[in-house]
Amino acid sequence: MPHLPRLSSGRSQALGLALSLLAGTQANAQSAGDVLDKMTPEQSTSYINGVVEGLAYARWLQDKPDRTGMACIYDWNYGDDAKANSRRLIAWLERHPDKPVGALVHTLIKKDCGA
């Protein structure tokens, strides 16, 4: 049997999601409570980074060829104010544990980067 490479947790999660979708299993948006209470710090960081990537790409598709909005979203998550924004995000998620993470992240980013 050939040796299979070990998948990183992010790749494992993506593979699991893809397989569940192929099997016809319903996938639901993760609530803020799920991300805060049921995921490890690494998992929640990876999940939120994925949401940010999706928002940045959607913004680029909306604005292309202008990259300003996309750059603002990336800077919000990875730039100089990332730690402060992360603290704001955690507080925001804690206030809305039953809401979808994607909508909550979008709300905060929209305040700083526009729609």
* Residue 7, pLDDT score: 46
Asked if residue 29 has pLDDT above 70, the reply is yes
Percent of the chain with pLDDT over 70: 77
Place of tokens 């993506």: 14
pLDDT of residue 115: 78
Residues 24, 85: Cα–Cα separation, whole Å: 36
Distance of CA 12 to the CA centre of its chain: 16
Q: Where are the domains of the chain?
A: 29-113
> And the tokens for 44?
């929640």
pLDDT in tens, 92-106: 999 999 999 999 999
Q: What is the mean pLDDT of the chain?
A: 86
Q: Phi, psi (5° rounding) for residue 38?
A: -105, -10
d(CA 58, CA 106): 11
| pLDDT tens string 50-79 | 999 999 999 999 999 999 999 999 999 999
pTM of the model: 0.74
In angstroms, the Cα distances linking 90 to 6, 74, 98 are 31, 18, 14
Phi, psi of 100 (to 5 degrees): -65, 140
**DSSP H or E stretch at residue 89:** helix 82-95
- Partners of 100 in the beta sheet? 31
pLDDT at residue 2 is higher than 50: no
